Amino acid sequence: MVAVGSAKVRAPAWRGGFGRLWSAAVLSGFGDALRTAALPLLAVALTDDPLLIAAVTACGYLPWLLFGLLGGAVADRVDQRRAMWTVDAVRGLLVAVFAVAVAPGHASIALLIALSFVLTTLQTLFDNAATALLPALVDREALGSANARLLTGQRVAGGLLGGPAVALLLAMGTAAPFAADAVTFLVAAALVASLRTAPPRREARPAGSTLRREMTEGLRTLARDRVLRALCTATALCNIGMGALVATLVLLVTRWLDAGTAGYAAAGTAYTVGGLAGGLAHRRFAARTGRGRGVLIAGAAQTAALVVMGSVRSLAALTAALAVFGFMGMVWNVGTTTLTQERSPAGTLGRVSSAFRTLAVAGAPVGALLGGAVAAAWGPNGPALLAAAFFALSVTALIPAREPETGGSSRTAATDTRTG
């Protein structure tokens, strides 16, 4: 069983920068939800090929495999605040240009794929910088609560509000969701730029230290810890399944269930409501089950939910299953994030978290392409059943991990290690 840690918990102060960081994160989550929902709908309008539709999602994951480790090493070297607002400003301008191209009907699958790839490439630096910045804004005892508030706020804005907003914005025009996303990027950049933090304190790097060596150090630290290694393996298997599901969910809802755009928005909202409930209930859930056992239970419950999604041809059943899936997904993410925080050695935050995330996310583009192939060969419900198989394997991967003492005292910001 994976380790169960305990920590002193205190609510973070909204002053001192955390409130602005939270606002920027929540606003960005809202914009990301608009774009993430609108891209596959635009892809479906441009092509009937499931593989091309899945490729849009796959290219949104691929940069983590190519640049994730580099992003973590760079984040440990630079001023994280400046890196974050600069990246968001660039992403805002890129999405604005994309919206201008979409408005007169100049969109293409190639353009969608390029946008997904470039935005995620920039995100590898942004997310790792955010991981390293949070400890400068809140006290150590408040990190757990800060992580929970960030994840819950992003889930509310990204799904509960963002999902229904997509349908309203699409009624105004195909480019509207992307224009709104560009605005959220630029406002979030302004909020982060307004933070006043002391220059990051870092130990002097050894003579001859290079980015390559620092990236390797993060991988080695992850590989040496049995619990983190098991969690990373399990999360990577989950992400193969998540990649297959996310890339083809639009096909499952609009074609297999024939529920249209409204059904797709309802599915996203159900997942978000479940995740929000999971965030609110996580403390009690973990107190009863233990953090490690809670992750195992979450994986098993999500496996069952995926079986329902792929075998019951009903929108009501799908939304109920997605609510359970979202609830247990939040339990998994908070538990995994907390265990990673507790076990990562001090001074290696960016590198260990980027190594974990890079390896964990590596399966998502493979899963997305597998999902497209399975949907083309066996129908739109096939990827959900494929995802169930990989989630079952992920639960199995956690079982061999014993329960050593919780180690380390490092701190990291909340980031979803699962792609959904």
Residue where the block lists tokens 């005292």? 409
Q: Is the pLDDT of residue 134 over 60?
A: yes
Higher pLDDT, 276 or 290: 276
Higher pLDDT, 414 or 92: 92
pTM over 0.85: no
| Higher-scoring residue by pLDDT: 351, 405 | 351
Is the pLDDT assigned to residue 209 strictly greater than 80? no
Burial of 10 (0-12, 13-18, 19+ CB in 10 A): middle
Question: Which of 63-67, 281-285, 318-322 reaches the highest mean pLDDT?
Answer: 318-322
Q: Give residue-wise pLDDT tens across range 300-312.
A: 999 999 999 999 9
Buried residues in 219-241 as b, exposed as e (16+ CB within 10 A): bebbeebebbbbbbbbbbbbbbb
Which pLDDT score is estimated for 410?
35
Q: Residue 344 gets which letter from DSSP? A: S
* All structural domains of the chain: 18-199+213-398 (1.20.1250.20)
The two structure tokens encoding residue 77: 């070297």
Q: Which tokens is 83 given?
A: 């890196």
**Is 60 exceeded by the pLDDT of residue 199?**
no
Residue 113 has pLDDT above 70, yes or no: yes
Q: What are the contacts of 108-113 at 24+ separation with CB within 8 A?
A: 108/46, 109/43, 109/46, 109/47, 109/52, 109/55, 109/56, 112/39, 112/42, 112/43, 112/46, 112/56, 113/55, 113/56, 113/59
Q: Of how many residues is the chain composed?
A: 420
pLDDT bin (cut points 50, 70, 90) of residue 143 is low
> In this model, does residue 9 exceed pLDDT 60?
no
Rounded Cα distance, 127 and 75, in Å: 9
Q: Is the pLDDT of residue 45 over 50?
A: yes
